[in-house]
Amino acid sequence: MTDKKIKVFAPATIANVACGFDTLGFAIQAQTAGGLWLGDYVEAWFNTTNQLQIERINGADMLPTNPTLNVTTVAANALLEAVGEKRGISFNIAKTVKPGSGLGSSSSAAVAGAFAANELLGRPFTTKQLLPFAGAGEQLASNQLHYDNVAPSLLGGFSVVRSNSETDVLSIPYPDDLWVVIAHPQVEIKTSEAKRLLGRTMSISNAVIQFGNIAGLVLGMSTSNYELIGRSMVDMLAEPKRKALIPLYDKAKQATLHAGAIGTNIAGSGPAIFSFCQGEHSAGQVLAAYQTVFASSQLHVKYYKTNINAQGAKRLY
């Protein structure tokens, strides 16, 4: 070791947000039962090998330690190449969100890698300028470039991706008393496999409905109009095809809406399901509804009641 370790954290996220396929996403402030934040923790330090090395991965044993195949180090390497840095960096990675969860596991990993490299180098880039480097890691994981998970994990809050190719990402306001309740059945759905279900075309009539709902959801968030948020959370593209992959999805959606959720939909590609709620009391009722539905199954399900994470990635030391 030739330099002091730093440690960073990048939060988990929920993307698509019902109608906003590959364009909308927000960061979450959820905690595990052990009190850790949901996302990726990465330690990094300069080494003497002039190479990137992964020393340890906790929380996801199946992930590769080869730095050319791991999204954390691929994102970090993209940044190092951009500045011409030749020194090697070693990484310890700890994940508290499972790959294939629908909670942005690959994106928080990529963001943590880019953010850690930037911190080690004395911040040659602003936080928002890290988006293309984190995107390089996400592209490795999902086989295409998209920022709907990457942007909120990096920047915090609620993100709108106007263009992936131009890296045009906007942040919008959202209601102060917006709560998110998540049920995560412990089954895995790979993003790449979930995307294959969707096909390559969408009818004009469904597209018109989808465009209107995206506009309504963004406006509802920006103006704290919960009724508009709720009626805009209708997805004509992904939900109809992906919900079959998620155990008890229809039953959970019906129960949570009956319990007072503003809207319920698939988190990312699933299998996690999320509900928007107005206020903590309502969130508690919706959480109870989820628990009742899944209590009838043999599934192990993790639950989170959380706010939106406004900060995004941060350095811990």
Residues of the chain with CATH 3.30.230.10: 6-172+309-315
Q: What is the pLDDT of residues 7-31, one digit of tens each?
A: 999 999 999 999 999 999 999 999 9
Q: Given this model, what pLDDT does residue 194 score?
A: 62
Asked if the model's pLDDT at residue 200 lies above 50, the reply is yes
Say what the pLDDT of residue 26 is. Answer: 98
**pLDDT tens digits, 204-258:** 999 999 999 999 999 999 999 999 999 999 999 999 999 999 999 999 999 999 9
- The predicted pLDDT at position 171 comes to 97
Point out the least confidently predicted range of 95-99, 165-169, 192-196.
192-196
pLDDT of residue 296: 86
Task: Write the burial class of residue 160 (CB in 10 Å: 0-12 exposed, 13-18 middle, 19+ buried).
Answer: buried
- Average pLDDT, whole number, for the chain? 95
Say what the pTM is.
0.95
Q: What would the mean pLDDT of 41-62 be, rounded to a whole number?
A: 95
- What does 186-222 look like in DSSP terms, one character per residue? S----HHHHHHTT-S---HHHHHHHHHHHHHHHHHHH
pLDDT greater at residue 113 or residue 3: 113
* Distance between CA atoms of residues 128 and 21, nearest Å: 22
What is the CATH superfamily name and number for domain 178-306? GHMP kinase, C-terminal domain (3.30.70.890)
Q: Which CATH number fits domain 6-172+309-315: 3.30.230.10, 3.30.1130.10, 1.10.150.120, 3.90.1150.10?
A: 3.30.230.10
For the chain, how long is the longest CA-to-CA vector? Answer: 60
Lowest mean pLDDT among 21-35, 106-120, 190-204, 273-287: 190-204
Evaluate the omega torsion of the peptide bond into residue 271 and state whether it is cis, within 30 degrees of 0. yes
3-state helix vs strand vs coil in the chain, percent to 5: 35, 25, 40
Q: Which residue has the tokens 């319990």?
A: 259
- Residue limits of CATH 3.30.70.890 in the chain: 178-306
Q: What's the pLDDT at 248?
A: 97
Burial zone of 97 (CB within 10 Å; 0-12 exposed, 13-18 middle, 19+ buried):
buried
Q: Answer yes or no: is pLDDT of 192 > 70.
A: no
User: Looking at residue 143, what is its pLDDT?
Assistant: 82
What pLDDT is attached to residue 1?
43
- Cα 99 to Cα 39: distance, rounded to the nearest angstrom: 11
Q: In this predicted structure, which of 1-10, 77-86, 148-157, 259-268 has the lowest mean pLDDT?
A: 1-10
Is the pLDDT reported for residue 193 higher than 70? no
